[in-house]
Chains A and B, each alone.
Chain A
Amino acid sequence: MPGNTSRTSAAQTGQKWLSRALCASFVLTTLQLIAPADAVAEPGTIQDRFEFSGFGTLGIARSDTNDARFVRDQTQPRGIGKSPNAKLDSLLGLQAYFRATDSLELVAQAISRYGAQDDFRPELSWAFAKYSITPNLTLRGGRMGTEFYMLADSRHVGYSYLTVRPQVDFFGALAFHHVDGADLTGTVALGDGIVKGKVFAGRANEVTPIGSEFFSLRGNPMAGGYLDYQQGNWQWRATFAQMTFKHDLPRPVADLRAALLATGIASAASAAEQIALEDTRSRFYSVGGVYDRGPLQVQAMLSRIRHESASYQDSQSGYVLAGYRLGQVTPFGGYSWTRSKAKEVSSGLPNFVPAFAQINDGLAGSLARVHTDQKTYTLGARWDFRQNMALKSQLDMIRGKPDSIFLYPTSNPGAFDGKLNIFSLALDFVF
C-alpha cells in the first residue's frame, strides 16, 4: 500500500531532518564564531549578516466535552477533551538567517510542535535561498511555507496575530505546511497602491495522521499563486492552489477499496474508483481582505475547496475577525464557518447479503467521516504586557450539526451533539 507509511520509516525521516537541521545550525554557528567579535554592527560586516531569532507559544486549552476531540489542524492525531492540555498550541520555532550578498539570502527554520508523529519532534519547516533579481522581484528555491490562503504561511507565529490560533473552521482542514520547490514574487506600484503577485510550484513532503495510520502527501505536486493589491488601509488577495495526490488513503479506506474490488461487481468497482485519491486533484480558491487602521484591524476571508475524489467533500469556509487596541489590550471577536457537501457514491451491492451490508456500512462511514457543517463564535483579548510578549485568552463557541466531525480526529457519533466550547490561554513570544 503506497500511501501507508509505517511509523518507523516516518520516525527515521524525522530524525534525518532533525540531524540535517542540527548540521545546518552548527555550520551557521561556526561561521558566526569566526566572524570578528568586535565588529561594529554596520551593514556589510559579517556579524551583521547573521541573524538568529525565534518564536514560540506556551498554550493551554480545554473543551467542555470528551465526545469530540478538538485539534488545531489535521496534522494533530489526538485532540483535546475536558482536561486542560498544553499540546494543542504550544510550539517553538528557531530561525537562522544569512545575508550572503545584497541580493542573496539564506533562511533555515525549524519548528517543534505537536504534529503527525504524536509528539513534538522538530521539523525543518523552511530551508531556502532567496535571490533578488531586482529589489522588487525575488526568486526563492528550497523548502518554503505554503500560502494556500492569505496568512497561511505564518500560522504558527502566534505573536504575529490576534487570536490564540488561526480560525480552525478556515485553516484547520489544511494538512500541509511547506512545499519543496520554487516561487517567484513580483511587486509593482499601481496608482498609490501596490500590486504583488506570486507563483509557486513544488512537491509536498509531509504525512498526515489518520487514526493510527499515516496518509502520505510526499511527492504530491503542488502549484499555485496569488494576486494581491494593497492601497491605503486596505489589502486584498485572491489565491489559487492545487495539489495532485500520489498516494491513496491508508486503512480503513484502503481495506474498504480492496473489499469493493474483491466483489468483482462493476458498480462496486466503480465506487472503489470514485473514492480513490491517487492521481486526483484538489483545488483551493480563496479571497481575503484586511482593513488595518491604527488600533483597528479587521480581516475577512472566504475559501472554496474542490476535490476530484469522493474521499473528501467539497467545502466552503469563511471568517470575519476584528480587534481594537485599547492601550496594551486588544479585545477581539470573530465568526467563522465551514460547510461541506456529501458526494453520492453507491456500491450497488444489496444489503440483504450480510458481507455486502458490511461493505456498504464501511462506505457510508468513510463518506460521513469527512463531513463538516459548523460555525464558531470567538471572543478574546490579547494583552501586550511587555516587549516581545503577549498573553491571550479566548473562548470559542463551536455550534455544528452532530454529523460535523471532519475536523475532529476522534468523536463518538451519536453522543456528540455538535457543540463544543473551547477555553484557551496562550503566552506568545518572539526573540
Chain B
Amino acid sequence: MGYLPRLLLLLHIALASGGAQADLVVVTSQKSGIEYLSRQEVVNLYMGRLRTNTAGNTATPLDLAVDTPERVEFYRLLVNKEAADIKAYWSRLVFSGGARPPQSAENIDELIRMISQTPGLVGYLPRKQLDNRLKVIYEFSVSP
C-alpha cells in the first residue's frame, strides 16, 4: 500500500474512532414543540439551509464557542468537516449576503441556560451533561 492510501486510511480510522467516544446529543427545551430531528434536518439547520423541520416547527441553532472541543467534535460527526472548513463555508455565505452562522454560547452552562429559556433554540452537548430542562431530539450514536 502506498503512502497516500495508508495516510487516508489512518485519517478515516482517527475520525471514526473520535466519533465513537464523543456521545453528543442534540437538545432543545422541554417546552419546545420540537420532538425529533432527522440527521438531515440537523445538517440543514446548522449549515443555514432550512430552519423548519418536516413537522413545521421553526428552529434556531445555537453553537458552542469556536475553540471548544465539543464544537469541533460536533461538526466532525455531523458533516465530517474541520473547524477551518466550517469557517470557510460561512465566510462564503456571510460575505455574499446570504445566511448568517448560528449564534454561540460561551460554554455548556450558558448553552443550557439559553436553551431552557428560549423554546425553539436548539443546541448540542455531551450526554452526561443533560439537564432535566432539556430533551434530546437527535442522537449521533444511534444513527448510521
* Nearest CB of chain B from residue A116's CB, rounded to whole Å: 21
> Are the C-beta atoms of A189 and B80 separated by less than 8 Å?
no
Is A388 touching B97 in the complex (CB atoms < 8 A)?
A: no
**DSSP class of B's interface residues: helix, strand, loop or mixed?**
helix
Q: Which residues of B contact A109 (CB under 8 A)?
A: 95, 97
What is the bound-complex CA distance between A58 and B52, given in angstroms? 40
Contact present for A387 and B66 (CB under 8 Å) = yes
| Chain B interfacial residues counted at CB < 8 A | 35
Report the separation of the CA atoms of residues A232 and B144 in the bound assembly, to the nearest whole angstrom: 14
Q: Find A160's partner among B54, B58, B88, B114 (CB 8 Å cutoff).
A: B88
1/0 per residue, CB under 8 A from B, across A226-262: the answer is 0000101000000000000000000000000000000
Question: Which B residues between 99 and 142 are near A, CB-CB below 8 angstroms?
Answer: 100, 103, 114, 118
Interface residue? B68 (CB, 8 A): no
Q: Are B91 and A384 in contact (CB under 8 A)?
A: no
- The answer to whether A387 and B83 have CB atoms under 8 Å apart is yes
A161 at the interface (CB under 8 A from B): yes
**Interface pair A135/B66, CB less than 8 Å apart:** no
A358 at the interface (CB under 8 A from B): no
The reply to whether B58 and A135 contact each other, CB–CB distance below 8 Å, is yes
A159 touches B54 (CB 8 A): no
Cα(A157)–Cα(B93), bound, Å = 10
**A22-61 with Cβ < 8 A to chain B:** 42-43, 48, 51, 53, 55
Rounded to whole angstroms, the CA-CA distance of A154 and B96 in the bound complex is 5
Query: Which residues does chain B contribute within 8 Å of A159, judged by CB atoms?
Result: 87-88, 91
Does chain B have a CB within 8 A of A326? yes
Identify which of A151, A153, A387, A430 contacts B97 (C-beta below 8 A): A153
Known A387-B66, A387-B83; judge A157-B51 contact (CB<8 A).
no
A165 contacts the other chain (CB 8 A): no
CA distance A430 to B89 in the complex (A): 12
- Say yes or no: A187 contacts B97, CB within 8 Å: no
Whether B49 contacts A230 by the Cβ 8 Å rule is yes
Chain A: CB-nearest residue to B4 = A326
Residue B9, interface by CB 8 Å: no
Query: Does chain B have a CB within 8 A of A304?
Result: no
Contact B50 A187 (CB under 8 A): yes
Given A160-B89, A390-B84, A42-B97 contact (CB < 8 Å) = no
Task: Determine if A295 and B52 form an interchain contact, defined as CB atoms under 8 angstroms apart.
Answer: no
Of all chain A residues, the one with the shortest Cβ separation from B89 is: A160
* Interface assignment of B40: CB less than 8 Å from any CB of chain A: yes
Tell me if B31 is interfacial: C-beta within 8 Å of chain A.
no
| A107 touches B (CB below 8 Å) | yes
Measured between beta carbons, the chain B residues less than 8 angstroms from A326 are: 7-8, 11
Interchain CA distance A387-B65 in the complex, whole Å: 13
A93 and B95 form a contact (CB under 8 A): yes
Write the chain B residue with the least CB distance to A160: B92
A106 to B106, CA, bound (A): 26
- Contact sample, A vs B, 6 pairs, CB 8 Å cutoff: A51-B100, A153-B96, A230-B49, A295-B11, A328-B84, A430-B95
10 residue pairs, one from A and one from B, having the closest CB atoms:
A294-B80, A160-B92, A384-B84, A154-B96, A153-B96, A160-B91, A135-B51, A154-B92, A157-B95, A430-B91
* Supplied contacts A157-B96, A192-B40, 9 more A-B pairs, CB within 8 Å: A151-B92, A154-B96, A160-B88, A160-B89, A187-B49, A189-B50, A294-B15, A326-B11, A327-B11
